[in-house]
């Protein structure tokens, strides 16, 4: 069982509330989403593992059990071309849960006309594989979002 923790402080809102049909329809995978605190912050690794994909607006960490967890910083933020995002690790790096991966400013993302909502998705998983999924309430970075069987 893998505990997937929140990469950000904010409010859990669930995937259904994400303003993007690919995420809200769980087409990428099941999970939840965070409406982040509107201040400069660091998105942290949700699990211990290896960074297998790294972009300014999104990253994937795969744990030793092969579970890949996608953290997507905002919606349509790829259109910002990395502006306002600072990578703190490299693809291929081994990271510990809670280790800073990307520094960003959700308020600046919102000011640029993009949603700062952050999906946290279990890649190649079924909804049945996840339990204790947080879909409401305040969360701190590092707090459990869901368990992956």
Cα(94)–Cα(54) distance, integer angstroms: 12
Both structure tokens of 57: 């607006």
In a domain, 69, yes or no: yes
In a domain, 13, yes or no: yes
In a domain, 27, yes or no: yes
Helix residue ranges per DSSP H, the chain: 21-24, 106-111
- Per-residue b/e over 9-43, b at no fewer than 16 CB within 10 Å? bbebbbbeebebeebbebebbbbbbbbbbeeebbb
Does this model's pTM top 0.85? My answer is yes
In a domain, 119, yes or no: yes
User: Residue 35's domain is classified under what CATH number?
Assistant: 2.70.70.10
Q: How many domains does the chain have?
A: 1
Catalytic residue among 55, 57, 67, 72: 72
Range of the domain at 123: 2-131
Cα(45)–Cα(96) distance, integer angstroms: 7
Both structure tokens of 96: 């510990």
pLDDT by residue for the chain (149 residues), tens only, comes to 999 999 999 999 999 999 999 999 999 999 999 999 999 999 999 999 999 999 999 999 999 999 999 999 999 999 999 999 999 999 999 999 999 999 999 999 999 999 999 999 999 999 999 999 999 999 999 999 999 99
Is 72 annotated in the active site?
A: yes
């Amino acid at each position: 069982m893998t505990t997937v923790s929140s990469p950000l402080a904010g409010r859990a809102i669930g995937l259904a509330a994400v303003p993007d049909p690919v995420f809200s329809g769980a087409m990428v995978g099941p999970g939840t989403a965070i409406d982040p605190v509107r201040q400069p912050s660091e998105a942290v690794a949700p699990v211990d593992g290896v960074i297998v994909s790294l972009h300014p607006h999104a990253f994937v960490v795969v744990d030793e059990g092969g579970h890949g967890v996608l953290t997507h910083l905002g919606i349509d933020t790829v259109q910002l071309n990395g502006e306002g995002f600072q990578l703190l690790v490299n693809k291929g790096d081994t990271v510990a849960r809670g280790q800073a991966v990307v520094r960003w400013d959700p308020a600046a993302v919102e000011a640029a006309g993009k949603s700062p909502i952050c999906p946290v998705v279990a890649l190649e998983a079924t909804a049945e594989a996840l339990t204790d999924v947080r879909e409401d309430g305040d969360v701190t970075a590092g707090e459990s979002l869901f368990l992956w069987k």
